[in-house]
Structure 1
Amino acid sequence: MEEQEAKRPRGSGWKDIYTTLRNEILALVLQPGQLLDEMTLAERFDMSRSPVREALIRLASDDLVVTLANRSTIVAPIEVATFPKYVEALDIAQRMNTRLAAALRTDADLKVISKRSKEFEAAVKTGNHLAMSEANKRFHMAIAEAGRNPYLASFYERLLSQGQRMLHLHFEYLERTHEGYLLTDEHQLMLDAIKAKDVDRADDLAHAHTRQFQKNFIEFMRENYTTDVTLRPLSAAE
């Protein structure tokens, strides 16, 4: 083990662990609440506990793992109780970034957004939910970057990252029930509104985008976990 770690660039060992665990958490291979034991992980990755500990620290900063009072680490639960507050924040961030993009976008921005939209469509065809959620995030961040407000974009990126596991459940619900569609049509409509510099239309579409995600996530939770989830509808876009 020590010989293998010596061959790696100094300080880089944690990155492989971080990337692997992050992908497994986002893809729900590692379930919410699952224990992440440092010794077991060290054996799995054939490394010492130091890079494992560093990877867990990084995952905690992404809100993907939680350290408990007894110092054990678990995969962060998906907090259904706080979902209403989360989706309200997502709605505001999504609408504001999309409005700004419609007002301020350049031709170069449109090319990037269009490229990200096509990448999402390609990911949908694979049926790989992790690839789909990552591509979805890149599409929306391309819109945020076109809005030219790094503070709003940073806030939005954090919300999108926090919602990726919920988005997987959203995808699963749509695939199983065939109700609705896998966002591709909405992405194209948002791109069209941004291209036309139609700020109000872009706002309406961003709001509808969040509402569809909200509805399908809650339906999935009710069907699969018999959770009594009560959500007041998002206020209509103004």
Structure 2
Amino acid sequence: MADELEVKRIRGTGSKSVYETLRNEILALTLPPGQLLDEMTLADRFNMSRSPVREALIRLASDGLVVTLSNRSTIVAPIEVDTFPKYVEALDIAQRMNTRLAAALRSEVDLKTIAKRQKAFEAAVRTGNHLAMSEANKEFHMAIAHAGRNPYLASFYEKLLSQGQRMLHLHFEYLERTHDGYLLTDEHDLMLDAIREKNVDLADELAHAHTRQFQANFIDFMRENYTTDVSLGPLVAAK
């Protein structure tokens, strides 16, 4: 019985390691959209059996980071350019609602947590590591969501933020290369100030502007790097 439990523990540990490594590589675009993920090749790479690799791929599929094709092969999920307008529309609504609620309901403890997450984001920006930046950005916005006291909206928001991390990576790359804009830090500070002051309308306005900046720069990046005629829909309407 003890041996059986040890096998399960090792298998779980192996699957977690594969999951975390592949997740980071997918989010950092080291594994590009459309990249084939062969179980046998991955098993050889991680020096383990196919079972923990398969478990990791199933978990990545539930995150929307990999997809299984009709021939049962697995690839890194494409970045769906055609659905981007719908994605950013949902992100805008979730971002505004969670930020509004945070401004109305935040506690002093919440403010300290949000400020701490902002400092962590600024530290990540200084490293220039896009994966660290996207993870820290997500943690900042989720601290705001938790301050809003609505777990349903927070859960929806977290899913959207996770789905957008690869696009945010491209957003950071575009800003760093063109110097056209700034890396969100000023906007984060303004959002924190509005939440601290319980200024609900300003928090809403800043959250909306935050989405528009991300959207505009991602569109510019895609048009510049992939095609001269990419249709990504109009900008999210201004208030």
Equivalent residue number for residue 213 of structure 1: 214
Q: TM-score, normalised by structure 1?
A: 0.96
Equivalent residue number for residue 123 of structure 2: 122
| Displacement of 1:13 | 1.4
| Displacement of 1:229 | 2.1
1:80-124 deviation per Cα after TM superposition (whole angstroms, max 9, x unaligned):
000000000000000000000000000000000000000000000
| Displacement of 1:202 | 0.1
Whole-Å Cα distance in 2 between the matches of residues 12 and 236 of structure 1? 47
Q: Does 1:57 find its partner at 2:65? A: no
1:165-224 deviation per Cα after TM superposition (whole angstroms, max 9, x unaligned):
000000000000001000000000000000000000000000000000000000000000
Q: Kindly report the root-mean-square deviation, in angstroms, between the aligned alpha carbons of the 2 structures.
A: 1.2
Kindly report structure 1 stretches of 4+ aligned residues shifted beyond 3 Å: 5-10
Superposed counterparts of 1:1-238, under 5 Å? 6=7, 9-226=10-227, 227-237=229-239
Whole-Å Cα distance in 2 between the matches of residues 34 and 198 of structure 1? 45
Change (3 A) 1:107 1:52: same
Whole-Å Cα distance in 1 between the matches of residues 116 and 232 of structure 2? 37
Letter in 1 for 2:160: L
Whole-Å Cα distance in 1 between the matches of residues 212 and 221 of structure 2? 14
Whole-Å Cα distance in 2 between the matches of residues 10 and 42 of structure 1? 13
Whole-Å Cα distance in 1 between the matches of residues 238 and 8 of structure 2? 57
Q: Unpaired runs of 5+ in structure 1?
A: none
2:12 alignment partner, SS class: coil
Whole-Å Cα distance in 2 between the matches of residues 175 and 11 of structure 1? 39
Q: Unpaired runs of 5+ in structure 2?
A: 1-5
Letter in 1 for 2:88: V
| Displacement of 1:10 | 4.6
Change (3 A) 1:24 1:230: closer
Whole-Å Cα distance in 1 between the matches of residues 8 and 98 of structure 2? 44
Change (3 A) 1:7 1:56: closer
Equivalent residue number for residue 3 of structure 2: none
Whole-Å Cα distance in 1 between the matches of residues 12 and 106 of structure 2? 39
* Conservation of the 8 A alpha-carbon contact between 2:65 and 2:77: yes
Change (3 A) 1:230 1:162: closer
2:175 alignment partner, SS class: helix
Give aligned pairs, total: 233
Q: Percent identity at matched positions?
A: 81
Letter in 2 for 1:102: A
1:74 alignment partner, SS class: strand
Whole-Å Cα distance in 2 between the matches of residues 220 and 11 of structure 1? 39
| Displacement of 1:8 | 5.6
